[in-house]
A and B are shown apart, each in its own frame.
Chain A
Amino acid sequence: MLFNSLHFVFFFPIVVALYFATPGRFRWMLLLFASYYFYMSWKAEYLLLIIASTLIDYVAGLQMGKTPDKNKRKKYLWLSLASNLGMLFGFKYFNFFNESVRHVFDYFNIFYNVPAFNVLLPVGISFYTFQTMSYSIDVYRGAREPEKHLGIFALYVSFFPQLVAGPIERSSRLLPQFRKEQTFDYDRVTSGMKTMVWGYFKKLVIADRLALFVNVVYNNPGHYSGINLLVATIFFAFQIYCDFSGYSDIAIGTARIMGYDLMENFRRPYFSRSIQEFWSRWHISLSTWFRDYLYIPLGGNRTVKWRYYYNLLVVFLVSGLWHGADWTFVIWGALHGLYLVAGLATLELRRRVKAALFKQNTFIPRLVATSATFSLVLFSWVFFRANSTSDAFLIVSKIAALQGPLDVEEPAIFLLSLMSIATLVLIELQQEFPFVRFSPFSHHNVLVRHISYALIVIIILLIGVFDAGQFIYFQF
């Protein structure tokens, strides 16, 4: 069930109505049932995977909680990690590694006959496995007590607003909320609805509109000019941002209506002045997950310089692989790792240059830094979006040559795409550097507020794309 489907438009209000009509101590049952129903709407059989992951991690958590012996705890931790990573590997990475090994064997003319594993990737597997692993690791470390209530734990694993594409929630944040009695709160409900509407606007009006141009160009890069490919790449940068942050907004708004606070997942990442800052603003729940459960255990930055850089590269290579079982994603991750390392290695030099050239001026250095960061991120998006590594390198070479002309098959759609990007940039500029006092959505006059909300819905009806289908991050 997609957030942008009529199925969800009927499902969610029914769930909310039943939720507030249900006595507090039974609400976890309703939400669990709703979450399982939500997940089963994709493929009912895959519910068994979530249930298996839930049971394994529940038991592992309880067993770890029973003993202070670290070695015994470690066995149960490995059980949890092995089962989650095993599922992830089997469904997501087996074919990738199998094909890569096959290519190596073919190169040396050695017979290799391991068949591919032809099965549909369970939606959200990368998200819920990471969520449950964070719980197991926290219990192992003693950072939290194991959850004894199986139903509430199952709800933590499968909570439908964030089940299939995050935010990846920590148990310490989310689990206690399921125990709190949530009453109907007017301000919270309206805030949640506003967040949802903004999420739908980003997804339907901006992301899916941009996708119309991006998909045509990126699916046939040989046919299009360098300028077309550059424009498509810029469009993709905004498409993926609006698609993913739009989903997160809908998830956050949905949960907030019912009284639950999910973590902020995006914070206007294209205003970042460095790649380091970018990763504090983009997919925050994943970057903090990797920081806490991979980077810091590897030693983080509390080690010698070469090891610090190595840790960063490893984290981003794994992050790239998390996003997809293809070399394009590995290259994307590697690029970000290299960017970070290069950024750190040149930090002092850049500070001195900035101080020498710009003295007290902050605007120009900020503009330069933001533009440079956006350009680096843009370059990496080529690999993220391209259908293959050969396509990616073809696109990069054509963009570098920057030959025209710009071929626009449907000028009206192109114009709508530009207008939607401009709208997003203006709104986010206002959020980042509030320069206009007037905000129609929080105006004191109720009529102004209502007309604003109504106009957003009307704009979605007028120029939203309703046939586009699923969110990009569902494939991860």
Chain B
Amino acid sequence: MQANSFTSNSRMRFFVKLALLLLLIAALDMAIGATLQVLYFRQVGGEDHLATYAIERTRADIIILGDSRANHHYVPDILSSKLGLTAYNTGRDGQSILYSRAVQKAILDRYRPQIMIIDITPNELIYTSQSYARLSELLPYYKRHPEIRDVILKKSNTERLKLISHIYPYNSKILEIIRYNLGKSHHIKAYNGYIPREGVIKDVNVRDEPLGNVRLDATCVDTLDQMISDVLDAGIPLYVIISPVYSPYADVAESYRAIKRVTLAHNVPFWDYSGDPRFSGKPTLFSDRSHLNDHGARIFTALVAERVKADLEKRRRANRTDSF
């Protein structure tokens, strides 16, 4: 009897203390999470600030979507000067079509741009776990942006549970949040989202290594399809572009076929510069195998701008002819 009551007191003591500890953790989680939320959206520089600007504030006429290749290949100022429209580059390093979809949804929820450009990598639609893991960059927007929650929840099927924690969306961001609350990055206003790359390729024989065992990601294919549909439904001219590469990507066949199939199904201009001899194999135009340097980006953007201009002119003439 005595042993039982001792054990039962021991258990009671344990559960009471455990409950108090959990309450303390929950309280700290809420308080620190709320503080991080305020600080996160107050950042004045860095990639998170650029993402917030793209998702919540830009009202540029031309929107560029994509990953690092989008971010480092399209110079908004050149597009602006050639097309007479404002431009903003929402591309982000390390991201995928899933991230672009979220940014696009957030933008279309706020206003209607005049042109959208989706920069796509030839192997973009191949499954990689990083495409999903890196959606963690969008976690801070989960509460404020219901329109992109479905994209964020693609990260894993336990995200809803993890998002009970107020700190979790800011996981691994503490140093940057502190840094960019103290100082400013000069890239935003000067370049409208575009971050130039400097330097030239050192190893002129650099090649992409095949991964082997690649498979098409049906979710990414559907995402591209939905992105195109939404833009066309909004009546916005859309261009799907593969920007230049120094040397060809490996493992692209299935992804490339899927991109072609989807763009053809929607009758959307699909411009492939991946093998363009004006760029491919020219080390002075690239900072590495996948990314143009600033010099290369300016040449490329000018080409794209001219082509978009010609295409828009053709559409205008076609519309005038139709109406007549």
Q: Which residues of A contact B (CB under 8 A)?
A: 6, 20, 183-186, 189-190, 412-413, 415-416, 446, 450-451, 453-455, 457-458, 461-467
Contact of A465 among B10, B165, B172 (CB under 8 A): B172
Contact of B158 among A6, A20, A183 (CB under 8 A): A6
Which residues of chain B have C-beta atoms less than 8 A from A463's C-beta? 171-172, 174
Measured in the bound complex, the distance between the Cα atoms of B171 and A328 in whole Å is 35
Check: B256 CB closer than 8 A to any chain A CB. no
Which residues of chain B have C-beta atoms less than 8 A from A183's C-beta? 3, 7
Contact A466 B10 (CB under 8 A): no
Contact of B10 among A184, A446, A450, A467 (CB under 8 A): A184
Contact A186 B133 (CB under 8 A): no
Known: A454-B25, A463-B171. 10 other contacts (CB 8 A): A183-B7, A184-B7, A186-B10, A186-B13, A186-B14, A416-B175, A450-B24, A454-B21, A461-B168, A462-B167
Measured in the bound complex, the distance between the Cα atoms of B29 and A183 in whole Å is 33
Measured in the bound complex, the distance between the Cα atoms of B172 and A413 in whole Å is 8
Which secondary structure characterizes the binding site on chain B?
A: helix
Contact B171 A190 (CB under 8 A): no
With known contacts A190-B14, A416-B175, A450–B165 Cβ distance under 8 A:
no
Measured in the bound complex, the distance between the Cα atoms of B3 and A216 in whole Å is 56
Q: Which 8 A-B pairs have the closest CB atoms?
A: A412-B175, A461-B167, A186-B10, A467-B133, A454-B24, A6-B158, A454-B25, A412-B176
Q: Which residues of B contact A (CB under 8 A)?
A: 3, 7, 10-11, 13-14, 17, 20-21, 24-25, 28-29, 32, 133, 136, 156, 158, 161-162, 165, 167-168, 170-176, 179
Which residues of chain B have C-beta atoms less than 8 A from A461's C-beta? 29, 165, 167-168, 171
Kindly count the residue-residue contacts between A and B in the assembled complex, taking CB atoms under 8 Å apart.
66
Contact of B20 among A412, A450, A458, A465 (CB under 8 A): A450
Which residues of chain A have C-beta atoms less than 8 A from B171's C-beta? 461-464, 466
Measured in the bound complex, the distance between the Cα atoms of B24 and A186 in whole Å is 20
Which residues of chain B have C-beta atoms less than 8 A from A455's C-beta? 28
**Closest Cβ of chain B: how far from A22's Cβ, in Å?**
14
Measured in the bound complex, the distance between the Cα atoms of B136 and A466 in whole Å is 10
Which residues of chain A have C-beta atoms less than 8 A from B136's C-beta? 467
**Closest Cβ of chain B: how far from A3's Cβ, in Å?**
15
Measured in the bound complex, the distance between the Cα atoms of B156 and A6 in whole Å is 11
A184, A451, A455, A462 interface centre (most CB from chain B within 10 Å): A462
**Closest Cβ of chain B: how far from A174's Cβ, in Å?**
24
**Closest Cβ of chain A: how far from B157's Cβ, in Å?**
10
Measured in the bound complex, the distance between the Cα atoms of B171 and A465 in whole Å is 8
Which residues of chain B have C-beta atoms less than 8 A from A413's C-beta? 172
**Closest Cβ of chain B: how far from A89's Cβ, in Å?**
26
With known contacts A412-B176, A412-B179, A416-B172, A458–B28 Cβ distance under 8 A:
yes
Measured in the bound complex, the distance between the Cα atoms of B172 and A466 in whole Å is 10
Contact A6 B161 (CB under 8 A): yes
Which residues of chain B have C-beta atoms less than 8 A from A465's C-beta? 172
Show 26 A/B contacts (Cβ-Cβ < 8 Å), sorted by A: A6-B162, A183-B7, A184-B7, A184-B11, A184-B14, A186-B14, A190-B14, A412-B172, A412-B176, A413-B172, A415-B175, A416-B175, A446-B17, A450-B17, A450-B20, A455-B28, A458-B29, A458-B32, A461-B165, A461-B171, A462-B167, A462-B170, A462-B171, A463-B172, A467-B133, A467-B156
With known contacts A184-B11, A461-B167, A453–B175 Cβ distance under 8 A:
no
Contact A458 B25 (CB under 8 A): yes
Contact B14 A189 (CB under 8 A): yes
**Closest Cβ of chain B: how far from A271's Cβ, in Å?**
29
Which residues of chain B have C-beta atoms less than 8 A from A457's C-beta? 25
Q: Which residue of B lies closest to A5 (CB)?
A: B158
Contact A466 B162 (CB under 8 A): yes
Contact A458 B167 (CB under 8 A): yes
**Closest Cβ of chain B: how far from A470's Cβ, in Å?**
13
Which residues of chain A have C-beta atoms less than 8 A from B174's C-beta? 462-463
Which residues of chain A have C-beta atoms less than 8 A from B7's C-beta? 183-184
Which residues of chain B have C-beta atoms less than 8 A from A453's C-beta? 21
Contact A454 B175 (CB under 8 A): no
Q: Which residue of B lies closest to A456 (CB)?
A: B25
Which residues of chain B have C-beta atoms less than 8 A from A189's C-beta? 14
Contact A450 B172 (CB under 8 A): no
**Closest Cβ of chain A: how far from B131's Cβ, in Å?**
12
Q: Which residue of B lies closest to A185 (CB)?
A: B10
**Closest Cβ of chain A: how far from B43's Cβ, in Å?**
13
Q: Which residue of B lies closest to A186 (CB)?
A: B10
